[in-house]
Structure 1
Amino acid sequence: MYLTQSLHRSVQQHPHRIAVRWGEQTRTFGEFADRVARFAGALQKLGVQSGDRVAMLSLNSERYLEYQMAVPWAGAVLNPCNIRWSPAEILYSLEDSGSTVLLVDETFKGMVAQFRRESTTLREFIYCGDGETPEGMHGYEALVAQTAPVADALRRGNDLAGIFYTGGTTGFPKGVMLSHNNLCSSGLAVRAEGLARPGGTYLHAAPMFHLADMGLAFPHWVEGNTHSIIPAFDPAKVLDTIEQHRVTNLCLVPTMIQMMLDHPSMGPHRDLSSLRTVFYGASALPDALLLRAQKAIPQAEVFQGFGMTELSPVGTILPSTYLAEENRHLGKLGCSGRATFCTEAKIVDGEGNEVPRGTVGEIIVRGPNVMMGYWNQPELTAAALRDGWMHTGDGGRMDEDGFVTVVDRIKDMIKTGGENVFSAEVENALAKHPAVVMSAVIAIPEPQWGEAVHAVVVLAPGQQVTAEEIIAHCKILIAGYKSPRSVAFVDALPMTGAGKILKTKLREPFWKGRERGVA
């Protein structure tokens, strides 16, 4: 299997069908594939060789879709950059992956000067925005226009397809290595669950650097469906695009769903009748919000899923039938579903033994969607991949029908607005403040974002600092969404006899009477 396979199939079977639509503009599959082959040739002319990493730092665009196909077409490896990270974090991922080429758009072109100064691996910069090409960079459109199409390098199977960076418990992002087989098998499993049907239009409303968007879009390549694109999530823009492009499929996080339903332009005048499916993940959807969504788009099937980058990205899916109001008696509401096709899941104890049904343990997953490993991190890879099983670090239970419910996180991960924040990353930033002796970062409930990052800090004797100063310090080192939203100062942190911080005690007053559920 290989990522470009479905594009070849579409060109052969329906070259004049619309492949991509953005604003008032469209491209057919034939036109799209020609541009992909030309840009792949341009990358090769710039010195990109088999296995080289090509990075992209950009908002959503039709060129982002071309990048996702052209890089493997050229024989290279994808490295999509997280647009919400700080320049220092982005530079780390570029250096760690050894990326040699970087595509940037208008929004991020200002970072190029720093990357050019500080990077030891980047050789070429390509401007993929709509404005005038900055000095010292290659223009994307000029490269496409001036380069003849080349044959597909047919990178495939267990060849590395992409390095996708995710937060790390070591305080640094980890590069998740995914093969063509990993990504294709996950996409085909999503297709088998009924999340893509012929004649559809998938809206790229979530950020395209995120594997959730790429993973849910893949089956629409298989079906030869249309890809509709907006630069970034905006509730009004999503609603407008659904109407104008007759969108059939959406992938959103609960926060996005709530923002759409709460938006002033949402109302009975909106024609959302084209929607067939809405898939959500990253965190649980409150029951009241689920009911609102189902009433607003009654004809659409709502699916829930559990996954992670290491699973390419989907591990379990809960079909819409179990979320329907008339099927609440089945008792699956709040579940994250069953293992997808070609995938196994089970719940184990600390020794790796499967626990009885209904007992909480760690969720582990096995299948062709499980990552190859962490880039240049053999020890972390060995800890996560054991006997072919991906140890997710998430706690859950499985019922007698094989449905998995995620109940808590074994790793200290915080989910805020659909993004993962690892407490170690934040604590690492806090430790660099001269007044901070010790800190613990936890998740606390937050109505809009699901969870918020909260820091509990011990200051050095005689030091005085405000919460605002601590937060500002973190924002210099890490992305804004990872930085604490609130800070509490204490004289000492609760410890176990072994000297470990008791985060359960810190969380207790915030979560008392609440169920901390994630999807």
Structure 2
Amino acid sequence: MEDLLVSAESRRIRRIALGDVLYRSAAKFGARVAIVDGDDRLSYRELDDLSSQFAHYLLESHPGRVQVATLCANSADMLVAINGIHKAGHVWVPINIQLDPAQIGYILRHAEVSCIVVDEAICQQPRIAALLGEIALPVIIACTDGGNADRTTLATAALGRPTALPEVDIDSQQPALIMYTSGTTGNPKGAVHSHASVYSAILANLSTFAFTDEDVVSGILPLFHCGQHVVAATAFAAGSCLVVARGFSAPAVIATIARERVSVLVGLPMMYGAMLADPQASMAAFSSLRLCIYAMAPMPRSLVNRIAETMSANIMLVTGQTEIYPVTMSFRPVQHPQRDANYWGVSTATCETAIMDEDGELLAPGEIGEIVHRGPNVMLGYFKDPAATEVVQKFGWHHTGDLGMIDDGGQLLFLDRKKDMIKTGGENVASIKVESTILGHPAVAGAAVVGLAHPHWSEAICAFVVLKAGASCSEQELIAHCRASLGKFEVPKAVKFIDALPQTATGKIQKHILRSQYADCFAAEVR
């Protein structure tokens, strides 16, 4: 029996490989538009052909399995490169274009990258050009205006090469990508995902989102993040059309929804807020929208209601992590008006979720502990870091570092990051609960809440607030606003107004910087 399971031919028949997703969709939806990139359009057949040609180029220049990085903004070229890397059986290393050159250099070296695809505009930045010259990597230019006669571009790499899917022996459990975390307190870690782990997330998302070949899906968020990447991969599996954008602009997105008849919009809560606040919103054509997906932050009930009234009543929160490919859980706020904005809902078809205590015991509904997951969408581990992998996968579950509880209805409530839970006067306070309350004030654009050392309370709650342009608000007004809906021990002892919240290049708030800068805030007082 074992002899039937070891041949390359047998593996090819039943393999799970990410490059096969596009190849199979092209066979079904060849002439359908796969990508809209500004005025450019690529059909499924064209995208499949170009990515196969790039795969053949990679196999000629790097015949063994190697890491290939992309340093690109959203574009059709980037999607050609990603799918070509997968078809070649190489390992994709996406790099956030907002990182500084030192961080980019760290990832390129740590991931042992053999070549890199770079947008022409990014490659021309002096510090990036100097870095690439220092590391001496082969460079393929993407999104070029044709003025790179002396350098390899995606177009020249594809020229004259076969459009057939390369015959490559790909094992379903071999690495498909190394995606680096944001590294809020140190160097980022590279989460290694197999073809099977990403593919399992795609399958779960097909049932969660119900994408079809009639859908037109937005590509506003960056493709170098797991969230937008898996949305794009899910769209291609379904035969949907993906409309990519280089960045977010409320007027541009509103116009794109109407022009391309976008049916699925994927964005952050602040993006939805900006669109609905735009003067064009009142006259906008949102009738094509059937699903509005949001992620990364809780959405105030007032914004949920406005989206439901103006854009679509089918609204969905989705969650995930770099280490466990999205989507892990989904929540429909319109269907659960009695549950607050911090609910994450229920797991997808391929993800199992539980609440665990410090000793590895699973907890009953109503009990608070760490949110843990297991399923085929979990990473293989951190690249070259077995110790960190062992910690995050102890007790046979993936540990998220998030605290939560499952209510009697089976819905998961997110409480806080473990490291951000505030202990004040013997009480535990979830920083996100206080932040959600502050964000409900009409003058507030952003907020971060931390616990700072206090001579009496052990830790005291301090809120850091960014006001909307032109808005005004006092510390006492915000504290009074919090008192109206929070317990006495949950109300901030101080509010600091700042111009901007410190963030990583992926948009995560760096609370450790606030804790460090304001460590002595309460040193001389007792409240």
State yes or no: 1:365 paired with 2:369: no
Q: 1:195 to 1:235 in 2, by over 3 A?
A: farther
Q: Confirm whether residue 113 of structure 1 aligns to residue 121 of structure 2.
A: no
Higher Cα Rg, which structure: 2
1:405 Cα deviation (Å)? 0.9
Are 1:40 and 1:149, in contact at CA under 8 Å, matched by a contact in 2? no
Cα deviation, 1:280-305, whole Å, max 9, x if unaligned, reads 1111001111111111113x511112
Whether 1:323 and 2:331 are equivalent positions in the alignment is: no
Q: State how far apart, in whole Å, the 2-side matches of 1:100 and 1:245 are.
A: 38
Distance in 1 (CA, whole Å) between partners of 2:519 and 2:201 is 48
Name the counterpart of 1:336. 344
Closer/same/farther in 2, CA of residues 276 and 487 from structure 1, 3 Å limit: same
Contact 1:53 1:98 in 2 (8 A): yes
* Structure 1: gaps spanning 5 or more residues: 424-441, 450-470, 496-505, 510-519
Residue 142 in structure 1 maps to residue 156 in structure 2: yes
Alpha-carbon contact 2:49-2:163 (below 8 Å) kept: yes
Q: Which residue of 2 aligns with 1:345?
A: 353
| C-alpha spacing 1:480/1:381, structure 2 compared with 1 (3 Å) | closer
TM-score (norm 1): 0.78
- The amino acid across from 2:294 in the alignment is Y
Aligned with 1:78 (options 64, 73, 92): 92
2:265 aligned counterpart, secondary structure: strand
2: CA distance, partners of 1:154 / 1:259: 47
Find the counterpart in structure 1 of residue 180 from structure 2: 165
Does 1 or 2 have the higher relative contact order (CA < 8 Å, sep 6+)?
Answer: 1
Q: Letter of the 1:11 partner, please give it.
A: A
User: C-alpha displacement at 1:382, in angstroms?
Assistant: 0.2
1:262-293 CA-partner distances (Å, limit 9, x unpaired): 122222x2111111111111110011111111
Q: Secondary structure at the match of 1:370?
A: coil
Any gaps of 5 or more consecutive residues in structure 2? 1-15, 422-430, 440-445, 451-461, 470-499
Alpha carbons 1:54, 1:99 under 8 Å: kept: yes
Q: CA deviation at 1:240?
A: 1.1
Distance in structure 1 (CA, Å) of the matches to 2:81 and 2:105: 20
AA aligned opposite 2:29: H
Name the counterpart of 1:210. 225
Residue 32 of structure 1 and its aligned partner are, at CA, apart by 1.3
Distance, in Å, in 2 between the alignment partners of 1:231 and 1:491 is 38
Correspondence 1:312 to 2:294? no
Q: Equivalents in 2 of 1:87, 1:481: separation in Å?
A: 19
Which secondary structure does the structure 2 equivalent of 1:197 belong to? coil
Alpha-carbon distance in structure 2 between the residues aligned to 1:480 and 1:186 = 23
CA contact (8 A) 2:36 2:243 kept: yes
User: What secondary structure is seen at the aligned counterpart in 2 of 1:305?
Assistant: strand
1:173-217 deviations in whole A, cap 9, x for unaligned? 010111111111111111112341331111111111111001222
The amino acid that maps onto 2:33 is I
Is it true that 1:292 corresponds to 2:292 in the alignment? no
Quote the Cα distance in structure 2 between the aligned partners of 1:126 and 1:8: 23
**Gap change, CA 1:445 and 1:407, over 3 Å in 2:** farther
Q: Against the structure 1 CA distance between its residues 154 and 202, is the aligned structure 2 distance closer, same or farther, given a 3 Å change threshold?
A: farther
Partner of 2:247: 232
Query: Alignment length, in residue pairs?
Result: 448
Which structure 2 residues correspond to residues 181-220 of structure 1 after superposition, within 5 A? 181-220=196-235
Q: Per the alignment, in what secondary structure is the counterpart of residue 273 of structure 1? A: coil
Q: How far off is 1:146 after superposition?
A: 3.8
Structure 1 residue 131 and structure 2 residue 137: aligned?
no
Q: Distance in 2 between matches of 1:405 and 1:445?
A: 25
- Look up the match of 1:254: 269
For each residue in 1:322-342, what CA deviation from the matched residue of structure 2 results, as whole angstroms up to 9, or x when unmatched?
524xx524x476411111102
What amino acid does structure 1 have at the position aligned with 2:130? Answer: Q
State the distance in 2 between where 1:260 and 1:373 align: 38
